[in-house]
Structure formats: structure tokens, C-alpha cells
Structure 1
Amino acid sequence: MATQADGSADGFSGDDGARARAREAVVEAALGKLDLDTKARLLAGQDMWSLPELPEIGLRSLVMSDGPIGVRGVRWTADDPSIALPSPTALAATWDPSLARRAGALLAQEARRKGVHVLLAPTVNLHRSPLGGRHFEAYSEDPLLTGAIGTGYVQGVQSGGVGTTVKHFVANDAETDRFTVDNLVSARALRELYLAPFETIVAGAHPWGIMTAYNTVNGTTMTEHRHLVNEVLRGEWGFDGFNVSDWLAARSTTGALKGGLDVAMPGPQTVYGPALAAAVRAGEAEESEVDDAVRNVLRLAARVGILEGAEPAVGEVPGEIDGVALAREIARRAFVLVRNSGVLPLRRDARIALIGAAARDARVLGGGSATVFPDHIVSPLDGLRAATDSLTYALGADPSDELAPAGVGFELRAVCRDADGTVIGEGSLPSGQLQWMGADLPAGVTHETLHSIEIKGTFTPRVSGDHAFGTRGLGAFTLTVDGTGLYDGVQSMGTESDPFEAFFGAPLERGKATLTAGEPVEISLFHPLDKSLAMPLPAVIFSLMHLEPRRDADSLIAEAVEAARDAEVAVVVVATTERVESEGFDRTDLRLPGRQDDLVRAVAAANPNTVVVVNSGSPVELPWREEVAAVLLSWFPGQEGGDALADVLLGAEEPGGRLPTTWGAFDAAPVTRVTPTDGQLTYTEDVFIGYRAWDKSGATPSYPFGHGLGYTDWTYESLDVTGTTATVRVRNTGARPGRETVQLYLSPSGPDEARPARWLAGFANVTAAPGESVEAVVELPRRTFEIWDEDAGAWAHQPGRYELTAGRSLTDGRVSETIVA
């Protein structure tokens, strides 16, 4: 591994200590030329996504962008489309760090294309409770798997010369009151679970950045947490990257500086900048502490190649990567086949009835800051139509009866006007949802000159009937459809205390218009800006909402049943919605929305060869799972999901995924509390989350951690352990080539109430032809035999006898060996 300026590893191959030390010399020289005011200004964002340039030292503006499944860039617009990879839960389901590295390298390519230097990803918080609304953006309930996938991802991004910010440090495991919640977590649970993925990634990938979370941990907000940031992250682990706040998370100038926060975003109104310079002059902070933060920022700038005189950390970036092909590969490698009676794979010429709203209108990514706009999306209907000989489609049941941002059939643009009504700029909209934050405005438009916005264009219905239209947001709206005014009024705050609740919450129906399928109509939503709203940063956020005519659910299900009866196989696609899984709120249950459970049961009763594809980013309940022939989990599969689905259903590829988190019914889940009491959320379960908690409770989940089926069979022939190296020999005893994820779990030989019954100790992927025998070699980390001793404040080795089991999942062990640690 190459070295940094101080001799530590820099997180990629090709660099050496001499080059890193030379970069550090340039950093120190640049730092010495800056006065206090300039240094303080550098630590505050100049806008939503960037830091200021400093020509006097040859520093260009550092640009950051949201991820993690794509690179949006500095503007939230479809004018510059982004590759949309499958959700992080899908990437983790591959159990393949090398594939995560390839994904990261592709995103670095995308970042360079968009002029982005730092990707605000990956998210490595754990799936503490299945109710976590943002779990689709994180990897797993297990810290070892999370750390391994995150390490590969960071290595990949940084191999392309682009920085990462591993987030959200730390214990940002739910969305409810995430800005204010004080999470009370034992030191042992922090070390063994929540800090563990960050520690692994710092050691294995040496990330150039980290993002501290909104929440508080044990009484101290994370942007001021001196112990966890300065003493643990920087001190014990040797992290030398920059520490950026989550957006709007920084609350105190001196508290943040002394707590190890380098950059407060977004800007220019932050706790740093002039406020920081004033604090130093008042004797409330030391300039040397400011220098430490500036040094970290300049080191990042040097690494990404925007500090004059410093050689970038990566001289030669990876070759061109085919993003479409990689998105398709990750999707099919991530699909988890949790049940198969033998119906899969299907014949290409089988008569298939494809059923479900999500089969036609694919949900390929989760809601919130992870949203990007790909230039195309392949739905399951698109993919199967292109790949099969006989396919029929029925809607079956829609997962939602709520208005959604205008999408299919709409061709929209945003027209910006000044106070005189003069058009000053335009921008295209991929949907009716307009989200312009900070400098995220069309060319020629500023927040000072912008007085009104009109969303206008055409709508071509795909069905005839009464279409509902509405709005979401605050202020005055005038809505016109096909020349008829549907609404002209004002939406006030009402009882909401947070304007973001109105911007992203429930839509309001404003009227209906009777339209004919295939006949386009003009549509307009005029919105004068209300600049009296108290916003933490300049933003324009409102939406044109729409809902197609709703037919009776029973009749739609009946049509689906008829289609299923006439087919050899019925494929039902069920899904969550953005109002179920998104950043900003947690879930209240694990049920599929709408009448989708009724649809599955009705179709399965009509056709015994019913395959259900579950399009969700994290666990949902599957009450009908024993009534259907097969269940395939597709996660949020990214832009190429439909083609990947066809690959797997028709057997061109096998489903490669294994569960990165336990799936079970909500009423049996051992850890569900995500709502604070009096501002505090106590992690009473301590180190028992995920499968550790299921084991302790004695409850049986629907599908255990690590579970997943392929299209061939495997025999585990032997397990040999020499020192810390475990070698597992497996044989492909099926009729086709396959990939197996060999999993190793460690258990104490005797009962130990303080420790989980078993935990993941390592894993490896192998491939083999029919009849071929191969070996999986897995190194057992020392940490797997240790616990955090809270009294000593240190890791403590736990000697004794352990049972090491290799198998196909947590509960499907095939070979075991007793070892002595």
C-alpha cells in the first residue's frame, strides 16, 4: 500500500511516500501565505456545493456532489443526466467488494465528467431497525459486510482521483428527528457495531473525507464531538482527511472547531467564515486550530489536483468504463432469489403474464438526496418485452392512490421571470418536482432577480378519464389544464413548524380534468415566490402533482387474475413508493402499500406458477411467500433494472445476491424503536441488532441474513483452518456454471449472555463449472475474537474455543470446525 505524507497509506496503488511528502510541502507553503480571514473563509462553503477559490495560492474551487448511486453534479437537473446504479442495499447484496470497487471507479469517471472533486458518499450507517426510512442508501445490518463493501467503494472512487466522504459519522441510523435526536449508545455498541465500518474503511481504503452527522451521540452533537472525531477517528485510527458537516448540521463556531470539524456546509451563511475569524480575535479559539482545519482542506485539494504545484494523488485514471453494462451487471448480481419451487429460470417462449404498476413504471432509486436523473430507465415491462416471445401485461393494483410528481406523459420546463414579468431563464424538468437549492438555478437566473416560476408544457395521457392535478409546497399557485383554471389560491404554513414538511410532505389535490388518451393538452402551474419564508438557505421548492384516473381495485385485480389464468407463468412486480422509503422520515410498518398483497394472493390462487418480484430498497413483509412459486428481491435496481430482470428470469444469468440484512415480519422484529422520547433515543438493545437480535429473541425471520438461492447446487466438502486462514472447499454439483458466496460464522463454544450467539467472521465469492471443485480462502480478522472492554477502554481478546461454520447463510451451515483462539 502506498503512503501519505506522514508515511500512512493513501488509499490507492501507484502513490509513494516521496510524492505524498512533496504534496505536504506544497500544502504547508500554501497555508503560510494565508491570513486569518482568508483561512476562515476557506472553511465555509461559498454556496451549496463548493468552497471558494484562492488564486493567490493557486487553489481552484473544490466542488462536492451528492451520491451514492450516481453523481448528480452541482445542479439538480435532467439537462446533465447521470448513470443510476442500483441502491447500496443491492450493492451489498452482491457480497463482492471488488464489484463495489468497479462501481466506485465508474462514479469517479462520472464525477470527473461533471467537474466534481468530492463525492458525498458512501453511507455506512447500519440497519439498526427495519423501520429506518433511508436504509436503501446504506449497506447492511452487519458491520463487517458494511466495512468490506464500503472499502471497495471508496477504493474505486479514489482510484479515479475523486475524493469520498464516508458518512454519516456516527449512529445516524434513523430519520425521525435526525437534526436533534440524542442517541444514547454504549461505548461497546459504538465500537463493535456503529464505528466498526468507519474504522475498517479508514484502515483499508484511507478515505480523503468523512461527513459528520446531524444527530447527537451521548449528549454531544456530532459536529462538535471532540472525542469521537479528534481522539478516535484522527487519533487512534490515523485519519488525515477532511471532515465536512452534513448540510446545515454545524451549530457552534468554537464548538465545531474544537470538535474537529473542518468545513461547515453549505455557505455562505455558516458558523465559520467571518464568525470564525472573529472568534479567534476574541480569544475564543486558537488560530492553530484553524490552521489544522485549513491544512486538511488543502491536503484534499492537493490530492484531487486543484492546488497548484502539488502532484495529484492519482496520475493516471482507470480506462473508460461502460456505465450501462456495469449498472446491468450489478443489478443482476444483486437480485436475491429467496424462494424457488423450480419455476425459475423461465423458458424464453413461455407464455408470461406480467402484472403490477411497478412493472410498467419502474422505481429504480430511493427518494431524497440520493436522487439522480438517468437519460433512460429500462422497466421490467421494457426488459421482458425485448427478451421474450409471448408477454401480456395487466396493471393489477397500484401501490398508491396519492398524487405523485408529474412524470410519464409530461414534457415540462420551468420558465423564470423577474418582477416585471420578463423571462430571465428556463430549465427543463424531468418531472413536476422542482428543487433548486443554493446556486442550483438556470443560466442567467439569480435568487435576487427571480420573482416567479411557471412550470409549463404538455401532457399526453396514456388513459382516458378524470385526471387529478395538485400541488405541493407553500405560497400562491395558479393551475391551468387544457385552458381551464383548476386552482388559484395560496397554501400557507398552517400548523407545520418546519417548511420542509410542506415542501416534501403530502400533496394537495386542486382539481380534475377529463382527458382523452393520446391527445396532448397544455398545462401550466404559475408560482410567485414568497421571499418572506424563513429558509436556512436560498431555495425554490414546489411540485406539480398528478394522479391518473383510478379504476376500482377489485376489477383491476380480477383482470390480472384472468391474465394469469391464460399464462403459463405469472410474474407480479410489487413495490414501495417514495412516500414509504425516502430520506427525511422513517417507516411506520413494513407492509406493501395499497392492495398489492391482495393482488399477489389472487394471482397465486389462479396460477400456481406465480413469481413475485419485490421492488423495494429494504425489507417488507411478504405474508403470501409460501403461496407463490418463487420470490425474487430486486431492491431498487437502477436504470438497467428491467434488462437485468429479464437476464435473471430467463436464465441468461443467475441471481447472484445474498441478503445483507434480515427480512422478517414487523411484529416479530426485535429492534423497532426509532422515535425519541424527550429528545433521546436509547439503544437499549446494545450490541444486539439484526441477526444478532433475532438469535437472542428466538424468533424466526422470514429469510435469514446471508440467504439466497442460485440456479445450480453446491456441496461443501471441507473446512480447514491454519492459524487465521480458513480454507473452504466447495463443489458445483449442479448442471450449469454458478457463483457461490461462502460465508463463515463464529460462535463461542459455551453460552455467553454478553455476546451474540454467532457473528459473521468472513466471506468469499467463488465461481465453478458443473462438477468443478474450488477453494474459498478467507482470512479471519483478529477483531472477530475481541470485544470492547468498557472499563479498560480498549479491545480485549477473548480466548477460548470457538465453533467456525461455513455455509450458505447464517442458518444454513454446511461444515464446521472447532478452533482455539
Structure 2
Amino acid sequence: MAQYQKIPDEIKLLPLKKKLELLYGDGFWKVRGIEDFGLKPFLVADGPHGLRKQVDKGDQLGIMAAFPATCFPTASLLACSFDQDLIFQMGQAIAREALHQHVAVVLGPGVNIKRNPLCGRNFEYFSEDPLLSGKMGAAFIKGVQSRGVGTSLKHYAANNQETNRLTINAVIDARALHEIYLKPFEIAVKEAKPYTIMCSYNRINGTYSSENNWLLNDVLRNKWGYRGLVVTDWGAINDDFLARKSGTDLEMPGIGRRDINLKRGIKKGLLDEDDVNVCVNNIYELHLKVKELEYGNDGHYEEHFSLARKIAAESSVLLKNNGVLPLKSFDNVAILGAFAALPRYQGTGSSKVNPFRLVSFIEALKNENIKANYALGYKSNGDEIDDKFEQEALELAKQKDIIVIFAGLPDAYESEGFDRSKMSLPDSHLSLIEKVVALKKKVIIILAGGSVMELPFADQVDGLLLTYLAGEACGPAVVDVLLGRVNPSGKLPETWPLTYKDVPSGN
């Protein structure tokens, strides 16, 4: 038990069956109410760069349909801004949409360290630097909670890869653990006081996070002074009884009659009612924080589209410019690459947003009555070179003086649930770039993807603009940057090795 906790008598006097029912959710997204105190159930929903409130049955992998919401740039691009005020504004916007959609707690931000560039979920995290990660996470939390909506700081802790994430044992020495992997959480907890913290699936030095008393009580509550609730990642409970004794308050999702097994554990002496009372009190305290929320007001989605555009443009990183940018017009410019019309703008998994209004680069030009000299160049998803598409792109490139190529990582390359197999771009993207460079024209590359990529062509092109995953307003944001309306002020928040062989954790 955390040192600070004193349990009110009214919590202790609740019927045991009711208390046990409170320890797990009502389905995928609902936290049970406490009728004895007049506290109604409330909803939680992903996510870290936009709301993902699901329409019907729930899932944690972004497969089922969700209500439309603003898809902001992902953390990989947000971190490039180094702008806490901008992230605060985004947090406020997400909270407004949460209130509009009757959501009390937003499941984000994620502040895990980018230990390896192949982590499939790197797009959802800020940096390899614990200070930057913690500060940006704190800004997000402050923004959301300034409107009364709760957050869930995740994934606590050391969830740095997707491969075997349910069982992997992260073996980390004390200094590295405290100074690198726990530090972002410590900063966010102390500066922003998130309503909830989500524990990770993995083990840390042999013990699962959900049942790690040292992690959840000794460090989080007793050392850092955390006073909120700990919720599992969806399905992260390993031992029903040890988890509740070790600092996990709420299990999500709630499937079946979990209370029956918990009661059996009490009878066998595997769980004490005192432990249950601690969990219930933390759930009760969360109820008190969100009970006065005023739901149903305007979601301000059009306004938030403009904010998403501003964040995407300002956060973009100009990696190279040999005097080719800004463009005066698109009259003598060839635009190549499927990503120009079918943008890669967010990651896949639990954070996947159903965008309120997605505008590609080609559509953004059309909206401004700018003619696009455009060819597909490659298929939008996959490695395979399409000779027809590539040849059409090359024929167009020969007719223009400047070529803008949209390239990067397709959806199938990175996602929650698996890690990337390589750090390189698809063969189809590399082939197109190589053949266009051979034409000896001025070439600008627009890079989209959630994480670090090998760039063998970097010294052969005139311009490189990195947008990471820029959200639903990615198209107009890139137009703004290319035409010089916005100065791309982003800076790299992580190391970009020349090749994967240069990655220390890759060996």
C-alpha cells in the first residue's frame, strides 16, 4: 500500500461484491459507477494524438469503426516542435472533442523512450531523450486536464518494443532505469499530475508491471508522490490478486464476472479486503475528478483542423535545402509519389483516429486552384516496383525543372503490435528516387513515416523535408512550407543513424 493512503469509512462499508465489481471495467471503455454515492459510469477512449471513441463494440487495435475526430500530428512530429505551448493547445482541443463525445478520460500521452528505431510504435512516442519526452508529455496532460478531462500517462514502464511485448522481460540496471526509462514518467507525474497512469504489458527485471509493487508503490506513489489511479493496459493483468496488492487499481477491459474470482482469492487468503479498499478509493477519487464534466458542447472540429495544420507545418524539419525552397509556384514542378494523394498521416493500432477531414497534398493544391502536375510513381502500400507507374512518373519528371517526390514508410511497415523488419524505405520508393536523381534535375523529397529511415540519397538531392506523421491537415501544411508561408522550425528529437548497423541496440 502507498504510504499516504487513508481509506474513508464509507469506502470500507461498501458491500464486498460492489467493491470487487469496481475493480474492472464494464466492457471495453466504460468505468463502472458507484451508485451508493450517486456517481455515474463514465467513458475512456484513446488517444495520444486524437480521440478514438468507438461506435459499437470495442477493440484495442483500431480495427472497429470510431466517431470522427481531429487527427493531430503524432508524437514523433510533435516532439520536433520543442514547443510546450503548442502541445498544450492541442491537449485542450482534444479535451473539447472528448467533452463533445462524452469521454471523461483520454488514454495518452505515451512517453516511452525510443530505444531502437525499429519499434513499431515509435510514432506514438516523443523522443530518445527523457527530458524532452517528459516535458512534452507534461504539456499534453496539462492541456487536456485544464478542461477537466483526465489523461492516462503510458506505458509505465520500459515498453520499448512491440515484439513479444506481452511477455518480454526488460532487464535494466538501476541507473539506466531511473535516469532514462523512468525519467519521462517522473517529470510528467510531478509537473502535470495525470489523473491516471497506464501500466505496461512487459516485465521489468523479472516482474510484470501490473504486479510490480516496487514500480507502482515504492517509486510512483511513495517516491514521486503520485496520488492518482493506476489502470492496466488493455489485458495486461497477469495475476488477479498480486496486481491488486501491488498497486494496480483498475483492470481494463472488463470481460465477464471478474468479481467471482477476486472473491475466491479473498477466501483463500490471496487477497485482503484492505487491498481492495485501496483500489476502490483510487477509483472513487477519479470519479470525483470527472463527475462535474459538462458534456455535449460543440467539438470545434473546423477550428481544430486549422490548429492541426499549424502544428504540422511549424513542426516539420527541413533537413536539407540547397536553395531550392521556398518554391515560387508549382507551374514547372513535377509531383511524384502515391503519398501525395494517399497520404501517410498517422500510425496504426489503438491510436488510429477516424479523421474529421483528411486533406492530401494534391487535394490541398486543388482547393487553392493550383494545378498539380502529378504522377503516382509507386503503389501506396508495399515494396514491389510497378514499372508502369514508375515510367509515367519519369516521363513527367523529364518535362519539369523541379521534382517533388513524396516517399517514406507505408502503413504495413510500422504499427502497434509488431516492429519494423528494416530501417530502409520500400524498394519502389528508392527506385523512383534513384531514377529521378539520375535525370540531373532539382529534387525535393518529402519524407513521411513514424520513425527513423535510412536515406542513401540524402547527398544527391537538393531538398529534404521531414514531416513524420503529420495528421489530417498534412496536405495543406506541406503546401504552406513549400511555398514559404510557414517556416519549418522543427528540430530532430532523435538520432538518425546512417544505417541500422550504426544503432547500438541493434546488435
TM class, shorter-length? over 0.9
Deviation readout 1:444-472 (Å, 9 max, x if unpaired):
xxxxxxxxxxxxxxxxxxxxxxxxxxxxx
Matched, 1:590 2:432: no
Q: 1:616 to 1:319 in 2, by over 3 A?
A: closer
Where does residue 692 of structure 1 map in the other structure?
A: none
Q: Secondary structure at the match of 1:280?
A: helix
Identical residues among aligned pairs (%): 37
Describe the SS at the equivalent of 1:63.
Answer: strand
**CA deviation map 1:107-133 (0-9, x unaligned):** 111111111111111110011011111
Q: Does 1:73 align with 2:53?
A: yes
Aligned match of 2:455: 622
C-alpha change, 1:264 and 1:346, in structure 2 (3 Å) is same
Where does the alignment leave 5 or more consecutive residues of structure 2 unmatched?
59-63
Deviates more, 1:363-372 or 1:192-201: 363-372
Q: Deviations over 1:691-750 (max 9, x none)?
A: xxxxxxxxxxxxxxxxxxxxxxxxxxxxxxxxxxxxxxxxxxxxxxxxxxxxxxxxxxxx
1: CA distance, partners of 2:239 / 2:395: 63
Contact preservation (8 Å) 1:90, 1:635: yes
Residue in 2 that maps onto 1:47:
27
Amino acid of the structure 2 residue aligned with 1:163: G
Letter in 1 for 2:352: T
Post-superposition offset of 1:323:
0.8
CA contact (8 A) 1:211 1:245 kept: yes
Equivalents in 1 of 2:467, 2:244: separation in Å?
Answer: 43
CA contact (8 A) 1:167 1:211 kept: yes
What is aligned with 1:257?
244
Aligned match of 2:175: 188
> Structure 1 residue 553: deviation in Å?
2.4
1:365 aligns with 2:346: yes
The alignment partner of 2:446 has SS state of strand
Residue matched to 2:201? 214
Equivalent residue, structure 1, for 2:289: 303
Residue 257 of structure 2 corresponds to residue 281 of structure 1? no
Matched AA of 1:242 = L
After superposition, the Cα gap between the structure-2 partners of 1:357 and 1:662, relative to the gap in structure 1 and judged at 3 Å, is same
> How many Å separate the matches in 2 of 1:100 and 1:563?
40
Greater mean deviation of Cα atoms: 188-197 or 259-268: 259-268
Measure how far apart 1:160 and its partner are. 1.2
**Partner AA of 2:466 in structure 1:** L
CA-CA distance at 1:398 after TM superposition: 2.1
CA distance in 2 between partners of 1:130 and 1:80 (Å)? 31
Per-residue CA shift, 1:801-820, capped at 9, x if unaligned?
Answer: xxxxxxxxxxxxxxxxxxxx
Alignment of 1:558-569 (within 5 A): 558-569=391-402
Following TM superposition, by how much is the alpha carbon of 1:35 offset from its aligned partner in structure 2, in angstroms? 1.4
In structure 1, distance between residues paired with 2:393 and 2:219: 57
1:636: which partner in 2?
469
**2:89 is equivalent to residue 102 of structure 1:** yes
What does residue 152 of structure 1 align with? 139
CA contact (8 A) 2:97 2:299 kept: no
Instruction: Quote the offset at 1:259 in angstroms.
Output: 1.5
8 A Cα contact 1:125 1:170, kept in partner: yes
Answering whether residue 80 of structure 2 is matched by residue 247 of structure 1, we say no
Q: CA deviation at 1:593?
A: 1.6
* CA distance 1:351–1:653, shift in 2 (3 Å): same
2:329, 2:135 → 1: CA distance? 37
Give distance in 2, aligned partners of 1:232 and 1:649. 47
Shift of 1:253: 1.8
Amino acid in structure 2 at the alignment position of 1:305: K
The residue type paired with residue 21 of structure 2 is R
* Match status 1:113 vs 2:100: yes
Tell me if structure 2 keeps the 8 A contact 1:133–1:586. yes
CA distance in 2 between counterparts of 1:615 and 1:162 reads 31
Which whole-Å deviations, capped at 9, do the CAs of 1:337-393 have from their partners, x for residues lacking one? 101101011013542211001111112111111111113211111123334744200
Is 1:143 the counterpart of 2:130? The answer is yes
2:79 corresponds in structure 1 to 92
Instruction: Give the corresponding residue for 2:215.
Output: 228
Question: Aligned partners of 1:349, 1:622: CA distance in 2, in Å?
Answer: 25
Q: Of the candidates 370, 373, 381, which is equivalent to residue 392 of structure 1?
A: 373
What letter matches 1:153 in structure 2?
F
Contact 1:72 1:373 in 2 (8 A): yes
Tell me how far apart the structure 2 counterparts of residues 130 and 269 of structure 1 sit (CA, whole Å).
Answer: 38
Q: Does 1:34 align with 2:14?
A: yes
Q: Which has the higher helix share?
A: 2
Which residue, out of 570, 573, 576, partners 2:406?
Answer: 573
Query: How far off is 1:30 after superposition?
Result: 4.9
Displacement of 1:568 after TM fit?
Answer: 2.8
**Residues 1:600 and 2:433 are matched in the alignment:** yes
Query: Structure 2 residue aligned with 1:293, among 279, 288, 292?
Result: 279
* Counterpart residue number, 2:61: none
Aligned match of 1:355: 336
Q: Secondary structure at the match of 1:273?
A: helix
Shift, 1:562, TM fit? 2.1
- SS of 1:654's partner is coil
Secondary structure of 1:59 counterpart: coil
Q: Say which structure is richer in strand.
A: 1
The range that moved more, 654-663 or 165-174, is 654-663
Query: Is contact 2:97–2:300 with CA below 8 Å preserved after alignment?
Result: no
1:46 CA displacement: 1.4
What's 1:452 paired with?
none
Work out whether residues 608 and 629 of structure 1, in 8 Å CA contact, stay in contact via their aligned partners in 2: no
Contact 1:125–1:173 (Cα < 8 Å) also in 2: yes
User: Contact 1:570 / 1:607 at 8 angstroms: preserved in 2?
Assistant: no
1:274 CA displacement: 2.4
Specify the alignment match of 1:435 in structure 2.
none
Describe the SS at the equivalent of 1:557: helix
Say if 1:401 and 1:145 are closer, same or farther in 2 by CA, change over 3 A.
closer
Count of equivalent residues = 495
Q: Residue 634 of structure 1 aligns to a residue in which SS?
A: strand
Task: Name the CA shift for 1:295/1:388 in 2 (closer, same or farther; >3 Å).
Answer: same
TM-superposed CA distance for 1:225, in Å, is: 0.4
From the superposition, tell whether residues 125 and 358 of structure 1 become closer, same or farther in structure 2 (CA, over 3 Å).
same
- Letter of the 2:481 counterpart: V
Q: Which amino acid aligns with 1:631?
A: L
Matched residue, 2:41: 61
C-alpha contact (below 8 Å) 2:29/2:44 kept by paired residues? yes
State the SS of the aligned residue for 1:256. Answer: helix
Q: Give the Å deviation of 1:666.
A: 3.2
What residue identity is the alignment partner of 1:219? G
1:397, 1:594 within 8 Å by CA — same for their partners in 2? no
After TM superposition, list the pairs within 5 Å mapping 1:210-609 onto structure 2.
Answer: 210-269=197-256, 272-305=258-291, 322-348=303-329, 350-387=331-368, 389-401=370-382, 553-609=386-442
Which AA in structure 2 matches 1:635?
Y
Q: Equivalences for 1:667-816 in 2 at 5 Å?
A: 667-673=500-506
TM-score, normalised with respect to structure 1: 0.58
Which secondary structure state, in structure 2, belongs to the residue aligned with residue 613 of structure 1? strand
Residues 599/388 of structure 1: CA separation in 2 closer, same or farther (3 Å cut): farther
TM-score of the pair, normalised by structure 2? 0.93
The CA distance in 2 between the partners of 1:66 and 1:79, in whole Å, is 10
Between the aligned partners of 2:473 and 2:500, the Cα distance in structure 1 is 35
Distance in 1, Cα, partners of 2:367 & 2:101 = 32
Q: Does 1:649 align with 2:482?
A: yes
**Structure 1 residues not aligned, in runs of 5+:** 1-5, 7-23, 307-311, 403-549, 675-821
Letter in 2 for 1:238: G
Q: CA deviation at 1:655?
A: 0.8
Q: CA deviation at 1:190?
A: 0.5
User: Rg bigger for which structure?
Assistant: 1
RMSD: 2.3
2:161 is the alignment partner of 1:174: yes
Checking the alignment, whether the CA contact within 8 Å between 2:382 and 2:412 is kept in structure 1 is no
